[in-house]
Amino acid sequence: MNNRIDILQCSKDEHVKTRLKAQLAEWTAVFPPSKTASIFIKLNLNSDMNALTGNTTDLRIVIAVIEFLKDIGYSKIVIGDGTNFGFAKNGINVIKRLNIDKVGKRYGVKVVDLNQSDGVQIDLSGVKAMVARECVETDFFINIPKLKTHFEAWMSICLKNLVGCLIGKEKRKAHVDLRKGIFHLNTAIKTHLHIVDGLIAMEGFGPSRGVPVNLGTIIIGKNPFYIDTLCARLAGFSAEQVPVLAYAKEAGIIEKGWDKEIDRILKDYKIIKLKPPVTNIAVKFILRSDVQRLINICRNAKWFKYLMATGPMGWALYGLGIRQDAFSSDALEWGGGLAARDISRCGDCTKCADYCPLDLKLPADFNPQECIECLYCFMVCRKNVIEFKGKLGFVEGYLKKYGETIKKIC
């Protein structure tokens, strides 16, 4: 497999979309020759936390890729993910909360929730599982994962992101033995290009409870095993620390010469050591493969479903660190939207414009017809010039936790 890698390290003030589109122009040879080919873009929409928390795919990258594809003539573009099933079970539409639906409408691309897709059966090391049809029948598969630590998988990058191809509860089959599940997903599903979002990554107890960190990095390549090995090293880890990479090495997928190749590639780049996803005793116990198998057997029992559906149990699991996500039913109410007050305080600051996925002329122009309501500008504004007129709802929870950190690192 082609091990070509491009690493873009973007400064905080650099126009990410322009840089990415210019680099993608160097990859045109890998795209389908027919402009009517179907292209599926797999995002990482793990939860309803936006990209600046380090949890989900950055809309600047998503939109840059869509604009690039449309500019060179492709029209059959589909974007989506099979989000964490816990959100769907709690009646939360992650695609809508992250404004992916608005991106689709604006650019005329189809948006799919893979949890609702028709399924195609694949084999996960002797276990039959259903993946979304879009993932296996597309002519060209672009994977855009978020670079983050993960308490089960150590790191979530290209390989782990394919778990979102499994439909709904089928994801549980991959988690019985996660390293094997991830490995076999990546041998069953053919991907063509990977664009790693390492702009705002996550370290520590990820994928949803870690700490955002500005890596300012985008990585482009074709071989997900090679990319993940490089990303682990870029983040200060060894491939052996990432279970799926250790398993791939045993299987002979990771070649002996890769370490020296990656050494040569990374000598010109800054290594940022991410804090590892340290877990407690309760989490370590629940992640044991024999315990996972037992849980899988019990899942369909009425008593188990009742117990898991109770509020106290949910918060107990969250408190112990076994459950990563808190499912808030509080909706964001847009109200009067965004507005800028006393622009003179901005000085030379252009953060709001730098982070706007649509390249709006902020802070002066808050055109409600143009804005997709992603709140990036609001979240990066350090001088409180941009204000939100409405009810933040579910966003308020992660702003309390990450708001000051986001302003500091962006």
Residue 308 lies in a domain: no
pLDDT of the residue at 296:
75
Spatial separation of the C-alpha atoms in residues 86 and 89, rounded to whole Å: 5
- Within a domain: residue 288? no
**CATH code of 219's domain:** 3.40.50
Say yes or no: 254 and 378 in one domain.
no
**In angstroms, rounded to a whole number, what is the distance separating the alpha carbons of residues 309 and 159?**
31
62 shares its domain with 176: yes
Same domain, 240 and 343: no
Assigned domain for 403 exists: no
Phi, psi of 171 (to 5 degrees): -60, -30
Is 40 in the same domain as 122?
yes
- Is there a domain that residue 96 lies in? yes
Cross-strand partners of 39: 77, 140
pLDDT of residue 1: 66
* In-domain check, residue 125: yes
- Residue 353 sits in the same domain as residue 232: no
Rounded CA-CA distance 381/402 in Å is: 14
Q: What is the DSSP letter of 163?
A: G
125 and 232, same domain (yes or no): yes
CB neighbour list of residue 318: distance below 8 Å, 6 or more residues apart: 324, 325, 326
The structural domain count of the chain equals: 2
Distances (CA, A) of 52 to 84, 146, 330, 355: 18, 11, 20, 10
Question: Within a domain: residue 312?
Answer: no
Instruction: Assess whether 53 and 129 both reside in one domain.
Output: yes
31/115 same-domain check: yes
Asked if the structure places residue 379 within a domain, the reply is: yes
Q: What confidence score (pLDDT) does residue 207 get?
A: 94
Residue 13's pLDDT is what? Answer: 65
Instruction: For residues 15 and 132, state if they share a domain.
Output: yes
Same domain (yes/no): 181, 78: yes
- Note the pLDDT of residue 175: 84
Residues 105 and 219 in one domain: yes
Q: Which two tokens stand for residue 291?
A: 């315990």
Whether residue 77 sits in one domain with residue 225: yes
Tracing tokens 């992640």 back to the chain, one arrives at: 287
User: Residue 356 is part of a domain; what is its CATH number?
Assistant: 3.30.70.20
* Distance, CA of 188 to CA of 68 (rounded, Å): 28
The first and second tokens of residue 301, run together, are: 């029992």
Name the burial class of residue 338, with classes exposed (0-12), middle (13-18) and buried (19+) by CB atoms within 10 angstroms of its CB. buried
* Alpha-carbon span 369 to 197, nearest angstrom: 28
Mean pLDDT by 10 residues, the chain (410 residues): 90 85 97 98 97 98 98 98 89 96 98 97 92 98 98 97 96 90 97 98 95 97 98 96 97 93 92 89 79 79 76 76 83 85 89 94 82 95 91 95 96
Domain that holds residue 236: 5-279
Is there a domain that residue 326 lies in? no
What's the pLDDT score for residue 239? Answer: 94
